[in-house]
Structure 1
Amino acid sequence: MSNSKLIALDADGVLLNYNLAYASAWERAFGQRPALRNPQAYWAIDRWGVETLQGADLDRFRACFDAQFWSSVPAISGAVQACEKLVSAGYELVCVSALKPEFAQARQANLRAHGFPIEQVIATSNAGSVECSPKAQALAQLKPVAFVDDFLPYFAGVDQAVHKAVHKALILREPDGSPNTGPGLQQMDSTHTNLAQFADWWLERPHQIENNDESRF
């Protein structure tokens, strides 16, 4: 049975703007902020006018994704307010992020600095498989009533892990190059453009939520 008052939220792309932070990391590594190339690109490397890196330059860039980076990612517009609405309605929020566990504390500090009403961050790393999301085990333990993520592959195996008790909500966001396409969309319980839209939709349908309505929306 699920915890009817617990909602699990992804961080990057749902709560926090990783794509914007990516440009800041590039500027930190190379001293120049990249130009915006495609604001509708899902992946940061396609969104900004950057080249593919190799060797020492790649190592230099990767080194910038440290605790300082993960503690300073900007919040997505409206995400803090969406979380506040959910908490005011009686829900507890937990962040489940495919992040290296060593950066969980930095992520928690980042959320706290923005004022997110989230007291727990679970970092799962991103070592999953096609059949099973790296987040499935954490969700099996948490048993939330809903799980919100912006990356369709991270829903793989969640039904089996949580015994179909979790509402799966996909944030679609930028469409160009998005992995959020194909037959897997049929397994989602709802889709939304951002967390703010999800929160409003969720809170307007209390009878469906309380009853864990299995229909697709």
Structure 2
Amino acid sequence: MYRGLIALDADGVLLDFNLAYGRSWEKAFGVKPRLVNPNAYWAVDRWGVPRLTGAALDRLRATFDDEFWTTVPAIDGAIDACHTLCEAGYELVCVSALPSKFEAARLKNLQDLGFPIKRVIATDNDQASVSPKAQVLDVLKPEAFVDDYLPYLKGVHPDIHSALILRDPHGSPNQGADLSLASSQHVNLAQFSAWWVQRRAVGNDSLQAQVQPTT
């Protein structure tokens, strides 16, 4: 029984961009970075590498090619979480802030990993007052939108359930007054999936998500 559409962000929700970033650093500079903080939200903080400018930044960015965007690994539990949602009757679409020229690569990445997702929609990553994903979501009209970056909840229509994935707490932008934009908060997609399906099964829209404390 079809129940509706759920829109999912990719990096930080479905895919482990931070792990892939470490591989790209090694590819660009021939040195494997050392993991210094597994709880860091941003990749540069996780690997303890400098913030680059100029030619060095261009060299790193050159590694973010089709091969990169087709080989980002899945976050633990994310594939099963998506299958749980599909088995409950939901259709999944990925709404991802990346250049549109990599849209097909991202879809191939997800499908090669076994995600039950047939469509990827790329948006820009403009840090404006309104989420660059809001316009796409207005057209899609999903029941829920799941992202791990709080600013991307800005401007999302209130009829859409905006679920925030908190994930890694150190240096996280997911804090402050704007947390009120999130309809619910979850540690990861697996937790959201289990909660959402239970919430719908019992017909209780007031069922509260259980979020573990961050460290």
**What is the rounded CA distance, in whole Å, between the counterparts of 1:214 and 1:154 in structure 2?**
24
Is 1:141 aligned to 2:139, yes or no?
yes
CA RMSD of aligned residues (A): 1.7
Counterpart amino acid of residue 86 in structure 2: V
Where does 1:42-81 land on structure 2 (aligned, <5 Å)? Answer: 42-81=41-80
Query: Do structure 1's residue 185 and structure 2's residue 179 form an aligned pair?
Result: yes
In structure 2, list runs of 5 or more residues that go unmatched.
210-215
Cα pair 1:7 1:146 within 8 Å, conserved? yes
Three-state SS of the structure 1 residue aligned to 2:40 is coil
Match of 2:200 among 203, 206, 214: 206
Shift of 1:187: 2.4
Q: Is the 8 A contact 1:134 1:154 kept in 2?
A: yes
- How many residues are matched? 208
Which amino acid counterpart does residue 81 of structure 2 have in structure 1?
A: A
Aligned equivalent of 2:212: none
The percentage of counterpart residues that share the same residue type is: 59
Name 1:26's counterpart in structure 2: 25
AA paired with 1:204? Q
List runs of 5+ in structure 1 lacking aligned partners.
none
Structure 1 stretches (4+) deviating beyond 4 angstroms?
Answer: 213-217
- CA distance in 1 between counterparts of 2:139 and 2:3 reads 14
- Superposition TM-score, scaled by structure 2 size: 0.92
Q: CA offset at residue 77 of structure 1?
A: 0.4
What does 1:94-109 correspond to in 2, within 5 Å? Answer: 94-109=93-108
User: What is residue 37 of structure 1 aligned with on the other side?
Assistant: 36
| Structure 1 residue 207, shift from structure 2 partner | 6.0
Q: Tell me if the contact between 2:199 and 2:207 (Cα under 8 Å) persists in the aligned partners.
A: no
Alignment of 1:108-187 (within 5 A): 108-130=107-129, 132-159=130-157, 164-187=158-181
Q: Which residue of 1 aligns with 2:88?
A: 89
Alpha-carbon distance between aligned partners in 2 of 1:147 and 1:33, rounded to the nearest angstrom = 35
On the 8 A contact 2:70/2:109 being kept in 1, the answer is: yes
Secondary structure of 1:138's match? helix
Instruction: Tell me the amino acid that sits aligned with residue 194 of structure 1.
Output: N
TM-score, normalised by the number of residues in structure 1: 0.91
- Confirm or deny: 8 A CA contact 1:189 1:215 kept in the other structure: no
Structure 1 CA distance for aligned equivalents of residues 206 and 124 of structure 2: 30
Q: Deviations over 1:3-35 (max 9, x none)?
A: 951000000000000000000000110111100
CA deviation after TM superposition for structure 1 residue 54, in Å: 2.5
Q: How far off its partner does 1:50 sit?
A: 1.2
Partners of 1:204 and 1:193 lie apart in 2 by 16
Quote the offset at 1:214 in angstroms: 7.8
